[in-house]
A = this chain, B = another copy of it.
Amino acid sequence: MLNSRYVEMQNHENVIRRVFMYGKKRAAEIGFDNIFDYSLGNPSVAAPESFHKALAEILAAQDDLTVHGYSPSLGIGSVRQAVAASLNRRFGMNYEEKHIFMTSGAAGAVAHALRAVLEEPGDEIVTFAPYFPEYQPYVEGAGGKLSVTPACTDDFQIHFEAFEKLLNPRVKGVLVNTPNNPAGVVYSVATLARLADILTEKQREYGHSIYLISDEPYRELVFEGVQIPYTASFYANTFTCYSFSKSMSIPGERIGYVAVHPDSDDAEVAAAVFGQISREIGHNCPPSLMQLAVARCLEDTSDLSVYEKNKEILFKELPALGYGCVKPQGTFYMFPRSLEPDDTSFCERAKKYELLLVPGSAFGCPGHFRISYCIPTEKVIRSLPAFRRLAEEYLG
């Protein structure tokens, strides 16, 4: 008797979670140490010391009504100011408090941004394969249609010809994710500049705004020597969606923000519109203690070096074993080619060696698989023979 759409959604379960649940079951059978669980993008390192210190200081020094009291529905003013100032300093922007809306993680940020830009049934959002599978429920829940640009599998930048074919007057937003889950690549200056040019032209042609929704929870997870361009600096109509989940390893605390470009068409009202969306879903605001805590250590990160170390090992060893792979520039993911065209069958076969991998088709990009290497390095090393034996099945 409950809403049939939500009941039905249970049948489209998150594939990533299904692999993870299999891993839990298998670990109970043969021991957690014997499973190489590369399924979940779950940070595996401690939060930064400054975050611990911030929590302790706030709890010790401030009164309960300040720390645990209602947050204004757009977020605590001083926190929004601190976020704006940090973005301005780091990326040469001009955000003010009014442009920052505090959310429950990047998921909440993206979902709010989508609801703000979608108006009528049939309105479209374009994204790019490979893409985070939960974009689908966010867009559909907001009443829109997600259309997916096929992947450019040579470098996982944008396949612009395919992208332009998908553009039409119903497109209200374009959703990008850089550094990318699952490919691990960072969109280049050339990619972002060309994307901005196309969107600028299409806005003119269609006579309405097309918002670029930039999902950037991995912004701080880039590897040595990689420069990450700030998406919003290329295109005014950008909503920048961020989460502290990955950079500070606090995914359970659900804290992030949307930053509204000060020169965007709706710069003066967007945050208030997001507030109305929150009001309707009964969400109100992210936890006040966490808002206050992250504001004290906005630019700090966990010790993320383990991810780079794991990447070095895997990106050295796997291609040598026959797994072709675009070089990851950040995140804790890589996205090699599966050794048979059917990536689901490939990932099934990998289970024989206790390797838990996620099929690329879950990300709209068949023929690949995702490795989430946010696991201890010793386990990465121990998993290499399993990857070798799996490769031998195919390549002899």
Q: Which residues of A are in contact with B by a Cβ distance under 8 Å?
A: 1-4, 6-7, 9-10, 42-44, 46-47, 52, 55-56, 59, 63-65, 67-71, 104-105, 107-112, 115-119, 134, 137-138, 140-141, 208-209, 249-255, 265-266, 269-270, 272-273, 276-277, 279-290
Alpha-carbon distance A255/B286, docked complex (angstroms): 10
The answer to whether B1 touches A286, judged by C-beta atoms less than 8 angstroms apart, is no
Q: Which of A65, A209, A279 has the most CB of B within 10 A?
A: A279
The answer to whether B254 touches A105, judged by C-beta atoms less than 8 angstroms apart, is no
The answer to whether A252 touches B68, judged by C-beta atoms less than 8 angstroms apart, is yes
Known interface pairs A2-B266, A7-B273, A265-B1; A282-B111 also in contact (CB < 8 Å): yes
Q: Which of B4, B6, B67, B112 contacts A282 (CB 8 A)?
A: B112
| Cβ-closest chain B residue relative to A245 | B70
Closest CB of chain B to A322's CB: distance in Å? 33
Closest CB of chain B to A174's CB: distance in Å? 15
Given A46-B65, A286-B287: 19 more A-B contacts, CB < 8 Å:
A1-B208, A1-B265, A6-B115, A6-B280, A9-B276, A10-B269, A42-B69, A69-B252, A70-B251, A104-B284, A105-B284, A107-B283, A108-B284, A111-B281, A111-B283, A134-B282, A141-B281, A252-B289, A255-B287
Task: Identify the 5 closest CB pairs spanning chains A and B, nearest first.
Answer: A111-B282, A252-B288, A141-B280, A107-B282, A68-B250
The answer to whether B3 touches A115, judged by C-beta atoms less than 8 angstroms apart, is yes
The 29 sampled A-B contact pairs (Cβ below 8 Å) are A1-B265, A1-B266, A2-B116, A2-B117, A2-B266, A2-B270, A2-B273, A3-B119, A3-B273, A7-B269, A7-B273, A9-B279, A9-B280, A10-B273, A42-B69, A42-B70, A43-B69, A55-B59, A70-B252, A108-B283, A111-B282, A138-B280, A141-B280, A141-B281, A252-B289, A254-B284, A254-B286, A281-B281, A287-B290
Q: Which of B3, B4, B47, B282 contacts A105 (CB 8 A)?
A: B282
The answer to whether B65 touches A44, judged by C-beta atoms less than 8 angstroms apart, is yes
Alpha-carbon distance A288/B252, docked complex (angstroms): 5
The answer to whether B104 touches A140, judged by C-beta atoms less than 8 angstroms apart, is no
Q: Chain B residues near A1 (CB, 8 Å)?
A: 208-209, 265-266
Known interface pairs A2-B270, A4-B119; A254-B285 also in contact (CB < 8 Å): yes
Q: Chain B residues near A116 (CB, 8 Å)?
A: 2-3, 6
Closest CB of chain B to A285's CB: distance in Å? 7
Q: Chain B residues near A265 (CB, 8 Å)?
A: 1
Q: Chain B residues near A9 (CB, 8 Å)?
A: 276, 279-280
Q: Chain B residues near A69 (CB, 8 Å)?
A: 42-43, 251-252
Alpha-carbon distance A266/B3, docked complex (angstroms): 11
Alpha-carbon distance A6/B313, docked complex (angstroms): 49
Q: Which of B42, B253, B276 contacts A10 (CB 8 A)?
A: B276
Closest CB of chain B to A53's CB: distance in Å? 11
Q: Which of A47, A138, A287, A290 has the most CB of B within 10 A?
A: A287
Alpha-carbon distance A282/B179, docked complex (angstroms): 20
| Cβ-closest chain B residue relative to A241 | B282
